Every structure is written in C-alpha cells, then in structure tokens.
Amino acid sequence: MADDSVLLAAEELTVRFGGHLAVSEVDLQVRAGSVTGLIGPNGAGKTTTFNALCGLQSVTRGKVTLDGHDISSLSPHKRARRGLGRTFQRLETFSLLTVRENILAGAEFRQRKVAGRSSATAVADGLIERLGLGDVADERVDGLPTGRARLVEVGRALANGPRVLLLDEPSSGLNEAETSEFATVLRQLTADGLAVLLVEHDMSLVMSACQHIDVLDFGRIIASGDPVSIQADEAVRAAYLGDQDDEAAADAPATVSTVLGGHELSEPEHEQLVEQAIPVLEVRDLCAGYGDFDVIDGISFEIPAGEVFALLGPNGAGKTTTLQVIAGLLPASSGSVAVCGRGILGADADALARAGICTVPEGRGVFPNLSVAENLWMATHTGSRRHDVEEVAYARFPRLGERRGQTAGTLSGGEQQMLAMARAMATDPALLILDELSMGLAPIIVHELYERVGEIAATGISILVVEQFAHEVLGVADMAAIMLHGRIAKVGAPTVIAAELETAYLSGAMAPS
C-alpha cells in the first residue's frame, strides 16, 4: 500500500557522466509535513541528485515521482507547475527589485496558472508577514543582509504554491543567528504540511531542522535515519572523517625545514630563524568574504618552520576561503597574513607563488590536455631544468614516471593529485598548501596520498592542509584546528582535535568544555 505522506520520491536514480557513475541507484522519500536532509562529503553526488529531482540533470536509469505521478520525463518548468519549488545554492533574487516585488513575481505566476486563487498581492503580503519581512518589504533586495535575502528567495518559491520545496545549501552566507532563525522558519512551514528536501553542509541546521536524513557517499546512499542515528552511524563517520587507523601516528613530529622559498638556509641562518620563533605562516585576526557575505571572522593561527598544520571543519566552515586569502586569490577585509615575518596581504597571487607559496587547489588543477611530463615542465618558470624537475617528481611518485607520456586528463583521480603535488614541489616552496586532496577519491587512494604528504613533511617543508578526511591528515600533522561558522573553534595537538571531530562534523558545534 502506498504511503500517502510521501510527496516526492526517487527510485533507483542513476546518473552517469560518460564512464563516471555519479549517482547509483539512489532511493529517497520526502514526506509531507517534514524536513528531509540530504547530506554527504564533497563529491558525494548531492548536487547531481538534487538536479535530477528538479529536471536539470537527465538520468541514466530510475524514476522520480511527485505525489505518486511519474515526472521523470517532465522539463523543470513543468515539474514546477506540478508543485515542485526550489532555491539555489548561489542566491538567486531580482536584486534591483524590492522584497515585495520579488515575492509578487512568484505569486503572479501562481495566479495565472490556477484560476480562482487569492490575488497575487494577498499571497505576497501573507508570505511577507509569515517570513518576518514586513520591515523591509519595500527595500531593494541588493541592500539586505544575506539572511534576509535568503528568506526573500524562499518567499518567492513559496509564492508559487509548491507542495514540495527543495533547498540547495540555504545556509550559505548566513551567520549562526541567521541559521538558527532559518531553522525556525522551516519548522513553521512544514507544520502546515509542506514537504522540504534540504541539501546542506551546515550540520547544526541539518540536525536541528530535519526529521529524517539520507547520507550520500560516492553516489550511493550509505545511511538513512533520524539525526541521532545518523550521528552514531559508523559508515557516516568514516565518510566524513576518514579511517582512524592512522591516529596513532599523529604524534610523530615533522623535521624542521631548511628550505624557504627555494633558498637553502645555512646552519646559522636556520638556528636564528628557530631561535627567534618566526613562523613560516602567521595569520592574525583575518576577516574576508564575498561581496556582502562574511565568510571568515577574525581567525588566527600560525605554522612554525617545518611543521604540518591541518585546518579542519565541515563543508562551508570557511576553510577554502582562508586558503584563497593566503594565496592572494581573495582580498581580506581586515587582519594580517605574514610569511617568514613579512606581510603579504595585497600581493598578487603570481608574486606570492614565485615567493614560495604554492597551492594544490581543490579539484586537482592539472592541465588535462598536456602530458604528465609537460605538466611538470610548467614548473620550470622558477629556473629549474626540465630533467631535474622530472627526476625529482618521478623519484617521489614512481607511478608518474610510468605515465610520463600519458595525457593528464586520462589519469585516475589519485594520479592527477600526485601530478599536482609533484608539480608544486618542483618549485621548492616555503609553504605548500593542500586543499581537499581526498575529494572524489576512494579511501585507499586517500591513504596513499597522505603517505606521500608524510614523506614530503619529513623533508622539512611547511604544509597547510585543508581536508575533510580528517583522520588521514591528523596522521601526519603536528598541529590542527577545527573551524566552524567562519571562526577557529579550537587549536591543539592532533590527538586533542581528533577527540572533538565527531561532534564538530556531525552536529556543527563543539562539545561543551
């Protein structure tokens, strides 16, 4: 017998991109009067699943039903007419229109498609009051704080009268207070029977707002249940934190670097650096964001010469934004960043790279149409010879030597990461920055990559690592920090941080001291 409370369902949903299986046989149900969460680590397949439900992504196999009717072949706008509403990860509003005009746009569309409904003005006014937007109803959206603008986007979606509302990362750009208010709004909406599917990285919002949660990893559902059972699930912990087998190695210190920015220090120079306790990287009270979005708020940490520092935290905590500021890719609004005692804020990314700050970005960053050898030759801008660059790279990563003539885009994901790291190391960096090495890779490959990171650390290079597979990186780190909601929540030895990870990642908060 069919469950009448299920308004939206996916059955054996499968999506392929060429030979890559992005989503595999996903089953999920979104019920009336409740918030269903869809979560998972980076690259798990959340966005692909979300787009397949909305009709923006074609499926290889499986079907999507809305209120018992198969909508798999319908276009996105026809699904919207059937009662499927959505918001977007990147805020999508009519920025030059007022709050009222934005919501009226949805209400007028609703009035045209269903005769006899309340007037568009009445619908808009009702939603403005319900969402607490009355005090800004006649203000332009581009002048609103992010939290209020998010509510405008939700209001416009609701004005169309959906039975199911799909929310894609609605907490993006919100502070803690705004996130809490948003959770309250969700509970109020579902109390009237609305079904909500929430794709979200902020675990505090997920755990406070959702009645049921599905967890994706590598395109498959690995766990389903209520928030308490999800937080206790071993498979979920492994997906978010990685394997804990290497935690015992967390106390192994890296040796002190004698290479800074391509200049090998003499013994007296090195001793002076250590005696003066000048860190290779020093971040103080750093604030930055995107437009009106405040992403990081007053963070501070430092990395001594020759140490590995792990910057950890759930998706959306502000880790990658921090790296972008350090690498000169994003301006800071306040605070300071210094490398070897010299302030670097305001310097071009190219100048910083030449000065010894080398980043392996999220998503690998190789040149896919060039061979392995040609990718490595790109590092010869520092003056190194091609032969020397290749010799060092192949010694450190023998597999690359076996594939030196192969086009980089045809390498496996793990091999591409090795190539990106090898090219970075060819520049003799003062500071190596690694952003999410594990993204989209199987745990065994992640383990192998971090063995290589450990070997690099043992040569004395200072390394800043941002990672979601936390337990792997803690095996090679000297110090670590947990970042939440744009702030450093805790800094400590890897063993201390490891004990806090589960609570931080799966609840979005730190355990009380």
Supply the pLDDT for residue 512: 59
CATH homologous superfamily of 6-241 equals: P-loop containing nucleotide triphosphate hydrolases (3.40.50.300)
Give the mean model confidence (pLDDT) for residues 224-243.
84
CB of 331 closer than 8 Å to CB of 502: no
The mean predicted confidence, pLDDT, of the chain is 83
pLDDT at 246 over 50: no
Supply the pLDDT for residue 510: 66
pLDDT tens string 167-218: 988 887 677 777 888 888 888 889 989 999 999 888 888 998 999 999 998 8
CB of 227 closer than 8 Å to CB of 210: yes
Sheet holding 195-199, edge to edge: 84-86, 164-168, 195-199, 35-39, 212-217, 220-225
Give the mean model confidence (pLDDT) for residues 321-330.
90
- How would DSSP label each residue in 325-342? HHTTSS--SEEEEEETTE
pLDDT tens string 71-82: 999 999 999 989
Instruction: Pinpoint the residues of the chain covered by CATH 3.40.50.300.
Output: 6-241, 247-363+429-437+446-507
Give the mean model confidence (pLDDT) for residues 100-129.
78
Closest by Cα among 154, 158, 152, 166 to 47? 166
Supply the pLDDT for residue 388: 86
pLDDT at 258 over 50: no
pLDDT at 409 over 90: no
User: 105 in helix, strand or coil?
Assistant: helix
Paired sense of beta strands 462-467 and 431-435, if any: parallel
pLDDT tens string 167-179: 988 887 677 777 8
Supply the pLDDT for residue 513: 54
CATH number for domain 247-363+429-437+446-507, candidates 3.40.430.10, 3.90.1310.10, 2.40.30.20, 3.40.50.300: 3.40.50.300
Give the mean model confidence (pLDDT) for residues 317-344.
90
pLDDT at 248 over 50: no
Supply the pLDDT for residue 340: 82
Output the CA–CA distances (angstroms, integers) from residue 165 to 51, 287, 341, in the order listed: 13, 34, 51
Considering 22-26, 179-183, 381-385, the range whose residues carry the highest mean pLDDT is 22-26
Q: Percentage of the chain surpassing pLDDT 90?
A: 35
DSSP summary character for residue 199 = E
Supply the pLDDT for residue 111: 62
- How would DSSP label each residue in 154-195? HHHHHHT--SEEEEESTTTT--HHHHHHHHHHHHHHHTTT-E
Supply the pLDDT for residue 348: 84
Supply the pLDDT for residue 266: 43
Supply the pLDDT for residue 120: 86
Pairwise pLDDT comparison (230 vs 117), residue with the higher score: 230
Supply the pLDDT for residue 277: 62
Tell me the β-bridge partners of 197.
Answer: 36, 166
Output the CA–CA distances (angstroms, integers) from residue 203 to 169, 176, 216, 224, 299, in the order listed: 11, 12, 14, 15, 21
Confidence label for 272 from pLDDT (cuts 50, 70 and 90): low
Q: Percentage of the chain surpassing pLDDT 70?
A: 87
264: number of Cβ within 10 Å: 10
Pairwise pLDDT comparison (339 vs 114), residue with the higher score: 339
pLDDT at 421 over 50: yes
Supply the pLDDT for residue 316: 77
Pairwise pLDDT comparison (309 vs 251), residue with the higher score: 309
pLDDT tens string 487-502: 999 999 999 998 888 7
Closest by Cα among 498, 484, 497, 468 to 41? 468
Closest by Cα among 65, 55, 90, 66 to 11? 65
Supply the pLDDT for residue 241: 67
Confidence label for 440 from pLDDT (cuts 50, 70 and 90): low
Supply the pLDDT for residue 300: 95
Structure tokens at 286: 């750093």
pLDDT at 162 over 80: yes
Distance of alpha carbon 340 from alpha carbon 43, whole angstroms? 35
